[in-house]
Amino acid sequence: MTELAVPTSASGTAANPYITAQRQFDQAATLLQLDSGMRRVLREVRREFTVNFPVRMDTGRIRIFTGYRVQHNLTRGPAKGGIRYHPDVSLDEVKALAMWMTWKCAVTGLPYGGAKGGVICDPDQLSRQELENMTRRFASEITVLIGAASDIPAPDVNTNSQVMAWIMDTLSMERGYSVPAAVTGKPIEIGGSEGRPMATGRGVTVVTLEACRRMGIDPHQATVAIQGFGNVGSVSADLLHAEGFRVVAVSDVSGGIHVPGGIDVPALLAHRGAGGRLADWPGAIPIGNPALLELPVTILIPAALENQLTVANAARVQARLVVEAANGPTTPEADDIFAQRGITLVPDILANAGGVTVSYFEWVQDLQSFFWEEKEINARLTRVMERAYLQVEELAQAHDTTLRMGAYCLAVKRVADATQLRGIYP
C-alpha cells in the first residue's frame, strides 16, 4: 500500500478509525437486532498489547520503539492480521484494523478471528540492519501472543515477505524448531504460497468484475482511477487493464498522473521497476491525490490508507462504483452521501479480502507441508470472493441497505452465532 496524508474531519480533527469501526458495527447490530450483551462483547477488542522496546542503531546508540498487537475476537479461530510500520501508527488505528479483520475473515468464511499489529517508525529512515533488528526485537516482544494456533501475522503497510521471514525465523529460534505456519506472506523458499503477493489485488479485481456484471457496466467501456500505486493498487491496475478496463489515473505519495486516453499499465510498471517515477511518465497530466478522487471515471479504487473519502469530498466524487482496496478509506458520513447519490460501494471487508484468503491457503499448506500450484490457488480465491460477493448482495437486498451493511450483517451474524454457540466462559 501507499502512504498518504490522513484527511481531517469537518471539525478539523483527524477522523478516529476505531470510532468509525464501532459506528459501522453499531449500524449492523441494529439491523440484526443483537441484544445488548452481545453488542458489548463484539464492540470491543479482546486484547490490546503495547510494547516499548530498545533497538541498537548502526551508530551504536539505543533507540526506543513503540509497537502494538491487538486481538479483537478469537471465537471463530486463531487471530489473523498484518503488521504495519508507519510514523502515524496508533493504538486506535490498530484496534480498528483488528476489528475490520474479524469481519473480513467472517465475511469470506475463514476460520479466523481478527488481529493487527504495528510499530511507530518510518522504515525509509532505517538501514536494512536496523530494520531487521527492530523487526526481530518486536517479534520477540509479542511472541507471548503470536503462533500458528493462536495469532498469525502477515504483511501490511511498509512490511513485506522479508520482514515476515525475519519474524518467522525469530519465533523459530526462540522455540528451537521451524514454525512456518506462524506467519504468512513469507517467501516461497521458507513456506510461502504461490499467488500470495498478488492476492489482494486479484481479489479486488474479482469483486470489481462481479459488481460491474451486476450493474451492467461493460469493462471495455469503463474508466478506472486508483489512489495508491503500491502492491495492492498496482496489481489491481495491471489485472483490470488485462480485463479491458481503461485505467486513466494512478497515484502514490508523491502525487499522481492522469492520462484520459488510458495508461499502458504493464509499461508503467516496467518504468517504475527500473527506478522511474510516476511523475516522469510521458504524456501524463500531473494530478494530486485529492483531485484524483474526484475525476469523472466509472470506477474509483482507493488503495492507500484510511479516511480518504470523507464528508469534505464525497459530494464531488463522480464515480459510479467505489471499490475499497484499502482498509477504512471511507468515513460513515461519506458512506451516507454515496448512498444518497446512488453510488455503489464495495466495502473493504469484502473488496480487499483476497490477501487474507490466500494467507489462509498458505497457513493450511504449511500445516500440511503440502503445497498447491498457483493456478489452483487463484481458482480457489476466485470462488471464495465470488461466493462472498453474492452472499453480501443478497443480505443487502434483504435488509434494503448498502453493500457495506450487507457485508457487516453477514460477518457480525457469523461471529455472534459462534459466540452464542460457544457460550461465555466460565
Query: How do residues 119-153 score in pLDDT, each as one tens digit?
Result: 999 999 999 999 999 999 999 999 999 999 999 99
How far is the CA of 11 from the CAs of 8, 14, 134, 312, in angstroms?
Answer: 8, 9, 37, 10
pLDDT at 6: 42
Residue ranges, comma separated, of all CATH 3.40.50.720 domains in the chain are 199-351
Distance between CA 69 and CA 83 in Å, rounded?
8
CA end-to-end span of the chain, whole Å? 42
Q: What is the mean pLDDT of each run of 10 residues along the chain (426 residues)?
A: 40 73 95 96 97 98 98 98 97 96 98 98 97 98 97 95 98 97 97 96 98 98 96 96 98 91 97 91 93 97 92 97 95 96 97 97 98 97 98 96 97 98 93
pLDDT at 24: 92
β-pair partners for 73: 114
Q: Which of 80, 95, 104, 116 is catalytic?
A: 116
pLDDT at 85: 98
pLDDT at 14: 63
Tell me the per-residue pLDDT of 16-49, one tens digit each, with 9 for 90 and over: 999 999 999 999 999 999 999 999 999 999 999 9
Question: For residues 123 and 87, is the Cβ–Cβ distance under 8 A?
Answer: no
Which pTM was predicted? 0.93
Look up 116 and say whether it is catalytic: yes
Query: C-alpha cell of 231?
Result: 502492491
pLDDT at 354: 97
Tell me which fold the domain 199-351 belongs to. Answer: Rossmann fold (3.40.50)
pLDDT at 12: 42
Residues near 182 by Cβ (< 8 Å), separated by ≥ 6?
Answer: 146, 147, 148, 152, 153, 168, 171
CATH architecture of 45-179: 3-Layer(aba) Sandwich (3.40)
β-pair partners for 82: 154
How far is the CA of 6 from the CAs of 87, 203, 251, 371, in angstroms?
Answer: 12, 25, 15, 40
- State the CB neighbour count (10 A cutoff) for residue 189: 8
DSSP state of 183: -
Query: C-alpha cell of 285?
Result: 497530466
- Nearest one of 310, 338, 151, 303 to 233, comparing CA atoms: 303
pLDDT at 405: 97
Residue ranges, comma separated, of all CATH 3.40.50.10860 domains in the chain are 45-179
Q: Which residue reads 512490511 in cell numbers?
A: 159
